[in-house]
Amino acid sequence: MPRTPPSAPPRRGTSHSPWTLLALCWSLALGLGAHVGRELHADAERNLVLGEGTRWQVEAARTLAGIGEVTGLANLRAMLHVRKRAFYEAPFTVGGRRPPPSPPASRAAAPVEPEPAVPAPRRVMIVGASSIQLDLGRALERRFEVFRGVEVLRQGRHSTGLARPDYFDWHANARALKASFEPDLVIGQFGGNDGQGLTDRDTGRAVAPFFTDDWDAVYGARLEAFVDVFSDAGVPVVILGMPAMRNDFHQSKMARINAVTRAACARAGAHFVDTFAMTADAAGNPLGRAEVDGRLRVVHAADGMHLSRHGSELVAGGIVNAVTGWFSFTRREAVAAANDVPLVENAAAGDARRPSAEQTPVRTPGERAYWRSIVNSPDPVDFEAYLERYPNGAFRALAENQAAVLRGQAAERALGLNREARRRIQRGLQARGFDPGPADGLFGPRTRTAIERWQAAGGGTPTGFLDGPAARILREE
């Protein structure tokens, strides 16, 4: 009978003290916390402002951020992401598809229709973050390239904006592009990545937390500085607002950023294009689908923040319609037909919406200084005086809008609406399909937006304020 070999003696496991395991877990948690301490601190401050966090969370996050700075873990994280950051910081620039230059002889001899008072832009620069890098930028580039003699330079940089100049400095980049490309029209979009605390360019230290008045002031000044890079040389700037988004929190961030951006554009003399209105319904909710190329298409990408390819085409068409209302372009029919690109009808010769030479804004000496002296005035008379002095001025549309808004404010104040009357007006807006928020008798941003949309739907001037007849209509529930 075969003998069974003796079994090996059992090995004795290595025992670890529970205190050692606990210390390891705490060290790991502390190291990871310090690793992302900056982001945790920013999120904690944001939550505190929104009423969703507590002071001790902010202090704990600040402590972790301090440990990360002292130990070098924060810098280690940047080193680990160097390849990713290098990829994002590499400019995605499209400048290859440019119209071929004409021979000097033919350029001099070719008959050309009379130029308007302000020459049509020939060198259009489009800059911004990932939306410009991707579908929206591509759609804009295609649409501008159908105009005769227009050269387009598009530069998009993922994950950038005006909030973090320590990560990427758009002001320095703008100066470099201005020197190299020499644009005569600049279109920019910022904001999608700017719903966060602002940092200093040189030190990276926090300057102002989001959802605060300090943030509004600093961000507005940064946008004005970007505009000034070009407008000081007489180059007009168009700033695109951010579209509607499916996530409620992101929607609230973009609403605030759009409001600050619009006000900064008015101060700096830049044109503002409201893309939110292009991507939201009458109640301010993001569109799910919209008609593009004769079919219903999904407007947003899967993340609910970026636009889909078809949504980008929808918004690009609205942007070009707005821009061609301010500047005269001539369409290159042959190129448009060959590329099968949708054409912007109001750019065609003879269209009633195309600005004539008499309508085209002209910047005259001293006008910019005059505009800056009145831009924050609460008196509509100042803007009407500007229009009388500069009837064809570069800031004409802004002055007309501001005069109408201030007149509307005065008319509404004269009504002496009490809180119950305001509640009835809010209910009247709600009954007509324009969401003013809760009928609390307080006219906040949502109510003002609902009034603007109601006025625009009726063919009136969307000032956001009511006169006597309008108030009576809305109170009739």
Range of the domain at 370: 361-407
Q: For the chain, how many structural domains are there in total?
A: 4
On whether residue 112 sits in a domain, the answer given is no
The pair of three-digit structure tokens given for residue 312, joined into one six-digit string: 């980008």
Q: What is the pLDDT of residues 324-371, one digit of tens each?
A: 888 888 775 534 344 444 433 333 333 333 333 334 444 555 776 777
Q: What is the predicted pLDDT for the residue at 136?
A: 94
Q: What is the predicted pLDDT for the residue at 110?
A: 40
On whether residue 1 sits in a domain, the answer given is no
Residue 310 and residue 392 in one domain: no
Residue 128 and residue 242 in one domain: yes
Query: Residue 442 and residue 448: Cα distance in Å, rounded?
Result: 10
Residue 192 and residue 223 in one domain: yes
Residue 467 and residue 367 in one domain: no
Query: Residue 239 and residue 195: Cα distance in Å, rounded?
Result: 17
On whether residue 109 sits in a domain, the answer given is no
Question: Which residues make Cβ contacts (< 8 Å) with residue 129, sequence separation at least 6?
Answer: 156, 157, 158, 159, 160, 161, 189, 190, 192, 193
Residue 320 and residue 449 in one domain: no
Phi, psi of 196, rounded to the nearest 5 degrees:
-155, 175
User: Comparing C-alpha atoms, which of 182, 176, 189 is closest to residue 233?
Assistant: 182
Residue where a domain terminates, one of 315, 347, 379: 347
For residues 121 and 355, the answer to whether their CB atoms sit within 8 Å is: no
Query: Residue 425 and residue 288: Cα distance in Å, rounded?
Result: 28
Residue 401 and residue 420 in one domain: no
Residue where a domain terminates, one of 347, 370, 388: 347
Residue 239 and residue 198 in one domain: yes
Residue 162 and residue 286 in one domain: yes
Residue 274 and residue 174 in one domain: yes
Q: What is the predicted pLDDT for the residue at 312?
A: 93
For residues 198 and 215, the answer to whether their CB atoms sit within 8 Å is: yes
| Residue ranges of the chain whose pLDDT lies below 70 | 1-16, 26, 29-55, 68-70, 72-119, 332-365, 368, 372, 375-376, 444-445, 477
Q: What is the predicted pLDDT for the residue at 170?
A: 94
On whether residue 113 sits in a domain, the answer given is no
On whether residue 287 sits in a domain, the answer given is yes
Write the CATH number for 257: 3.40.50.1110
On whether residue 64 sits in a domain, the answer given is yes
3-state secondary structure string, the chain? CCCCCCCCCCCCCCCCCHHHHHHHHHHHHHHHHHHCHHHHHHHHHHHHHCCCCCHHHHHHHHHHHHHHHHHCHHHHHHHHCHHHHHHHHCCEEECCCCCCCCCHHHHHHCCCCCCCCCCCCCEEEEEECHHHHCHHHHHHHHHHHCECCCEEEEEECCCCCCCCCCCCCHHHHHHHHHHHHCCCEEEEECCCCCCCCEECCCCCCEEECCCCHHHHHHHHHHHHHHHHHHHCCCCCEEEECCCCCCCHHHHHHHHHHHHHHHHHHHHHCCEEECCCCCCECCCCCECCEEEECCEEEECECCCCCCECHHHHHHHHHHHHHHHHHHCCCCECHHHHHHHCCCCCHHHCCCCCCCCCCCCCCECCCCHHHHHHHHCCCCCHHHHHHHHHHCCCECCHHHHHHHHHHHHHHHHHHHHCCCHHHHHHHHHHHHHCCCCCCCCCCCCCHHHHHHHHHHHHHCCCCCCCCCCHHHHHHHHCC
For residues 174 and 241, the answer to whether their CB atoms sit within 8 Å is: no
Q: Taking the CA atoms of 293, 356, 319 and 93 in sequence, report the sign of the dihedral they define.
A: positive
Query: Residue 190 and residue 196: Cα distance in Å, rounded?
Result: 13
Which residue bears the tokens 């309508």?
A: 359
Residue 315 and residue 398 in one domain: no
Residue 331 and residue 467 in one domain: no
Residue 296 and residue 428 in one domain: no
On whether residue 19 sits in a domain, the answer given is no
